[in-house]
Structure 1
Amino acid sequence: MAKKAVSISSALAKTQDGGVQITLTIPFELVSVEREKALTEYAKNIEVPGFRKGKAPLEKVRERVPAGSLIEHTLSHILPKALAEIINKEKIRPAIYPKFELIKAEEGEAWQVRAVTCEVPQVNLGDYKQSLLLRSKKASIWIPGKDEKPKERSKEEKEQEIIHVLLESVKVEIPKLLIDEEVNARLSNLLEKIERLGLTLDGYLASVGKTTDSLRAEYEINAKNTIALDLILTTIAREEKIDIKETEVDAAIAAASAEPKVAERLNTPEQRRLIRGVLARRTALDSLSALL
């Protein structure tokens, strides 16, 4: 009689702001099979006294592998495929790669892992062009003798006005997880800069008159606005069918990299995709200047 297929069960929970939690329950039978595969991989590089390299029994190899490393390696055999199946089945559009939390990993019992991510936020553009036109008309109203004639705005001032109107009028809810991810990245960059200058975080905060809490709060606002603006401009670029040509990407890479090695790093499929997105958002923003 054929063996019954061992399957992973899952429980899905979503938060109102787009957060997603997937709890996976992995039968121990599957854990055992994948753990043996992981140990076989470890055995190729681990030296065990009395045995040739790669020839030691798996029980001996296991004695030399830290328990945490073995669990992590075993799960790396299981989670990517299991998660991909659930994401496809539930039609989830993850904005970031999930973070995993081990809930349970007892010998002889099913293991449990929680995957935490968030979905790409939905953008409701509404009548953003009308909002821009109304703002433009309001700014251009001038009553001779009463008001000072408004000055011609610079390109930068127009851009800031467009950004302000878009963030104010377009509806998009940013998941907290996405904001935290961006804030943590910015704080890490700041800490690196501070260390390179030979300063301490406390010294830096004192020099700018901020606390860790006020700095994080400021970064949260900035991160939320940055993410929202990127999503809004990406949606506008898609709706307006803005097409960035390969030659434009080539030109951007050439402009950004005087060194051949830098150009090589930028000229990968993933980097070209990111650059194309930046150029599309910039084109979308430039196209809105005509409305002001």
Structure 2
Amino acid sequence: MAKTASTKTKTKKQESPLIIPNTTIEITFSWAEVSSEYKKVLTRLAKRLSIPGFRKGTVPTAVAEEQLDTQVVVEQTLQKLLPERYTAEISKQKKRPLTTPDFRLVSSGKNQDWVIEANIAEKPEFSMPGYKPVVKQALKDAVAAIAKEKTKPKEQEQDTIKLQIIYGKLAEKYRPQVPELLIKREIEHDMEQMRKQLKQLNVTLQDYIKRNNLTEEAFSQQVTVRALTRLQSIFITDAVAKSEKITIDQQTIDAHIDALPDADFGKKQRNNPDYRASLHQTLFTQAV
């Protein structure tokens, strides 16, 4: 009897996504918690209304409520109540958001609970066991790539090439994941800086896209990849620093600010949390 050959189908292991969903927290206010502030907002907005038959500032709240945009009243009420409750909820659930949240109103209305969804970005668990051989090989690849250049790059350019290749190889092997919201915030920051630079050149964003022969979709993908790459590099740096027990304390940041050539700039930025965070990451990367 003839034997039939059995064929084994190899299924390729599905790689985990690089951009992952945010963490969602539900925040609920009872009407009893909301009603007092809701009435204050309504009274304040009513004073600004001009309605036939009433002098400005004398419109009854019941009449004003019918004329006002409900969404505006709800938003202004939550602007007062939500920050404190959000902070309390984050502390209660022992969450550590990496950036400002995105809020989504799920439900609201008089005499009912108000439900808000807070989307936050938390740092995923990430480590790089056995990363040193990867770095060693990446450094060899970088040196080989530099040697192929027709014009030898300057020392600083060589360092940049080495870092790009090392971070690229580490990202390729260990695939650090980044929450959606963190990508969104990075893109917002990137776009803000780009618009400022283009404005100085008297160029609109649309003109920039056309001049570079890009579609809006291609430009969006380009910006997203750039944001993802930067954030992955930060996570990689953090993992190396944790492995090697490297830290940057506040005194080191203060000392660096004190040493800036522009003393006025240093004075202005000393207590700027965004600047200190950026400087911390820069010093961190240098130390690693």
TM-score by length of 2: 0.71
Q: How does 1:36-47 map to 2 (within 5 A)?
A: 36=39, 42=44
Could you tell me which residue of structure 2 aligns to residue 109 of structure 1? Answer: 112
Could you tell me which residue of structure 2 aligns to residue 155 of structure 1? Answer: 159
> Are residues 233 and 62 of structure 1, via their aligned partners in 2, closer, same or farther at CA, if it must alter by over 3 Å?
farther
Shift of 1:107: 2.1
Pairwise CA RMSD of aligned residues?
Answer: 3.8
Does residue 214 in structure 1 map to residue 218 in structure 2? yes
Could you tell me which residue of structure 1 aligns to residue 187 of structure 2? Answer: 183
Provide, for residues 109-156 of structure 1, a one-character-per-residue CA deviation record: whole Å limited to 9, x for no partner. 222222222212222222111212344567789xxxxxx9xx998333
Secondary structure, aligned partner of 1:124: coil
Q: Is the 8 A contact 1:183 1:216 kept in 2?
A: no
Deviates more, 1:207-216 or 1:102-111: 102-111
* Equivalent position amino acid for 1:28 in 2: W
Identity rate of aligned residues, in percent? 24
> Are residues 24 and 244 of structure 1, via their aligned partners in 2, closer, same or farther at CA, if it must alter by over 3 Å?
closer
Q: Is the 8 A contact 1:23 1:112 kept in 2?
A: yes
Does residue 121 in structure 1 map to residue 103 in structure 2? no
> Are residues 274 and 190 of structure 1, via their aligned partners in 2, closer, same or farther at CA, if it must alter by over 3 Å?
closer
* Equivalent position amino acid for 2:198 in 1: I
Shift of 1:231: 1.6
* Equivalent position amino acid for 2:161 in 1: E
Does residue 94 in structure 1 map to residue 97 in structure 2? yes
Deviates more, 1:216-225 or 1:120-129: 120-129
Mind listing any 5+ residue stretches in structure 1 that lack a counterpart? 1-15, 142-147, 285-292
Q: What is the distance in 2 between the residues matched to 1:140 and 1:264?
A: 41
> Are residues 263 and 110 of structure 1, via their aligned partners in 2, closer, same or farther at CA, if it must alter by over 3 Å?
same
Could you tell me which residue of structure 1 aligns to residue 242 of structure 2? Answer: 238
Could you tell me which residue of structure 2 aligns to residue 166 of structure 1? Answer: 170
Q: Is the 8 A contact 2:26 2:117 kept in 1?
A: yes
> Are residues 277 and 58 of structure 1, via their aligned partners in 2, closer, same or farther at CA, if it must alter by over 3 Å?
farther
Does residue 277 in structure 1 map to residue 281 in structure 2? yes
Shift of 1:235: 2.8
* Equivalent position amino acid for 1:163 in 2: Y
Q: What is the distance in 2 between the residues matched to 1:36 and 1:257?
A: 53
Secondary structure, aligned partner of 1:172: coil
Could you tell me which residue of structure 2 aligns to residue 225 of structure 1? Answer: 229
Does residue 23 in structure 1 map to residue 31 in structure 2? no
Mind listing any 5+ residue stretches in structure 2 that lack a counterpart? 1-18
Q: What is the distance in 2 between the residues matched to 1:243 and 1:188?
A: 30
Deviates more, 1:197-206 or 1:60-69: 60-69
Shift of 1:173: 0.9
* Equivalent position amino acid for 2:239 in 1: T
Q: What is the distance in 2 between the residues matched to 1:274 and 1:135?
A: 27
Secondary structure, aligned partner of 2:20: coil
Secondary structure, aligned partner of 1:100: strand
Provide, for residues 220-264 of structure 1, a one-character-per-residue CA deviation record: whole Å limited to 9, x for no partner. 11110100111211232233222335564245325555151x222
